[in-house]
């Protein structure tokens, strides 16, 4: 790799001038500038990022905090790849890379433990990262508070985060849920139940609120027995559906807070000898890939998955350059009607 010094020598200028050509082009004479650029091109010069980061105290990297191995070991993020696609392409546009931070493991590490927010913040400093994107990294409130207060720009996905340079991006969960339930109401359903996410989960709570609102709008009274908590995973959807179907007055329609749980509900209905959507209408949330493959295909509320990544990238970049907190981003939700709700 050619260095700035070599270029400087070949051009008969100082290294400072070479550096200026790339960082403050307007301050260097037109002619010498083009001379430097030409030589740089010939030598295929690329500034050394380590040196630049050391000197500048900032790299062109954003850290990704993504813990996989705590809580549910088998758990997979339903649309991580889409988020990454959006994130990567949006960051690329700014010349930034995405660094998937290692969790612990470094023997040299003085005291970082698994999923330790302090450890991540330290990594951020050590590598001069521009900021952090937090994706599904546990629902530990303390952890998030640590991130938010650390001063490093960070944006969380789907988890409210508030700090001097911390924000988050989420979907219009309320609106999406309301529309889903409205649709069910429009199909004539009166007994509509919901399988929620875990208590305290912000997106889930918003979806529940949307569900209630839609019921109230339609003059229906929400019943407590029609609200069963799940944990977003498939198994809990099956269990919840079983409980609902065992009620004296079982629902004719169920809105699940996630597609995974909706699939679980389909399985439960099938096992109970019920036909979806004839005996039980179902609507999910997320629009994950399996939603279109299940039989019947799932009616669901689609999230703008790459949009998460893009919005996160935008927010991070804005905070890096602007320095101030960005407003939270709320992405639109869109009802996708397929077979499971009983409408064409």
Partner DNA sequence: AGGGTCTATGTAACCGCTTACGGTGGAACG
Partner DNA sequence: CGTTCCACCGTAAGCGGTTACATAGACCCT
Should residue 12 be labelled a site residue for DNA when binding is judged by CB under 7 A? yes
Instruction: Single out the residue of 316, 328, 341 nearest to residue 154, CA to CA.
Output: 316
- Residue of the chain from 10, 47, 164, 218 that contacts DNA (CB under 7 A): 47
Alpha-helical regions (H) of 218-287: 234-245, 259-271
Residue 38 engages DNA in binding (rule: CB under 7 A): no
Instruction: Tell me the window of 82-90, 164-172, 197-205, 214-222 that interacts with its own copies (CB under 8 A).
Output: 82-90
Ramachandran assignment for 248, one of left (phi > 0), alpha (psi -120 to 50 degrees), beta (any other): alpha
Angle value at C-alpha 109, between 104 and 110, nearest 5 degrees? 125
Q: Does the footprint of its own copies cover residue 98 (CB under 8 A)?
A: yes
**From CA 101, how far away is CA 277, in angstroms rounded?**
44
Find, among 96, 146, 7, the residue nearest to 321 by Cα: 96
Closest distance of CB 37 from DNA, Å = 12
Query: What SS3 state is found at 313?
Result: helix
* Residue of 6, 109, 140, 279 that binds its own copies (CB under 8 A): 109
Nearer to its own copies, 100 or 216 (CB): 100
What sign has the CA pseudo-torsion 263, 269, 271, 276?
Answer: negative
Residue 324's SS3 state is: coil
Q: Shortest Cβ distance from residue 118 to its own copies (Å)?
A: 9
Helix (H) or strand (E) holding 108: none
338 binds DNA (CB under 7 A): no
Task: Tell me: does residue 107 bind its own copies (CB under 8 A).
Answer: yes
CA atoms within 13 A on the CB side of 75: 15
Contacts with its own copies, 224-263, as mask; x by CB under 8 A = ---------------------------------------x
Among 49, 72, 186, 190, binds its own copies (CB under 8 A): 49
Nearer to DNA, 128 or 191 (CB): 128
Measured from the CB atom, is 67 or 172 closer to its own copies? 67
Q: Are 316 and 88 in contact (CB under 8 A)?
A: no
Tokens 């999406």 — which residue?
Answer: 176
230/219 Cα distance (integer angstroms):
26
14 binds DNA (CB under 7 A): yes
Is 4 near DNA (CB under 7 A)?
yes
Site for DNA, rule CB under 7 A:
1, 3-5, 12-20, 22-24, 27-33, 45-48, 51-52, 54-57
Site for its own copies, rule CB under 8 A:
1, 22, 40-41, 44-51, 53-54, 59-61, 64, 66, 68-69, 76-77, 80-82, 84-85, 88-89, 91-111, 122-123, 125-128, 263, 289-290, 293-295
């Amino acid at each position: 790799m050619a260095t700035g010094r070599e270029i400087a020598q070949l051009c008969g200028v100082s290294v400072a001038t070479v550096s200026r050509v790339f960082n403050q082009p307007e301050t260097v004479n037109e002619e010498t500038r083009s001379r430097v650029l030409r030589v740089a091109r010939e030598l295929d010069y690329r500034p050394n990022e380590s040196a630049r980061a050391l000197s500048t105290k900032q790299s062109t990297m954003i850290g990704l905090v993504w813990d996989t191995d705590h809580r549910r070991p088998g758990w997979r993020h339903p649309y991580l790849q889409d988020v990454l696609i959006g994130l990567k392409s949006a960051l690329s546009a700014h010349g930034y890379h995405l660094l998937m931070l290692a969790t612990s493991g470094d023997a040299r590490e003085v005291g970082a433990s698994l999923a330790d927010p302090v450890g991540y913040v330290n990594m951020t400093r050590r590598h001069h990262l521009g900021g952090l994107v937090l994706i599904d990294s546990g629902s530990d409130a303390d952890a998030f508070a640590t991130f938010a207060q650390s001063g490093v720009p960070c944006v969380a996905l789907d988890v409210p985060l508030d700090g001097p340079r911390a924000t988050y991006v989420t979907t219009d969960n309320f609106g999406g849920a309301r529309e889903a339930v409205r649709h069910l109401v429009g199909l004539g359903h009166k007994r509509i139940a919901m399988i929620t996410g875990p208590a305290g989960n912000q997106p889930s709570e918003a979806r529940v609120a949307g569900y209630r609102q839609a019921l109230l709008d339609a003059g229906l009274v929400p019943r407590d027995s029609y609200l069963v908590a799940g944990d977003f995973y498939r198994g809990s959807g099956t269990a919840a559906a079983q409980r609902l179907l065992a009620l004296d007055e079982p629902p004719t329609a169920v809105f699940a807070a996630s597609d995974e749980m909706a699939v679980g509900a389909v399985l439960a209905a099938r096992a109970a000898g019920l036909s979806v959507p004839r005996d039980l209408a179902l609507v999910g949330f997320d629009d994950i890939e399996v939603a279109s493959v299940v039989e019947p295909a799932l009616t669901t509320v689609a999230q703008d998955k790459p949009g998460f990544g893009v919005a996160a990238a935008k927010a991070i970049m804005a905070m890096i350059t602007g320095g101030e907190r960005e407003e939270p981003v709320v992405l639109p939700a869109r009802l996708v009607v397929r077979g499971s709700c009983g409408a064409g």
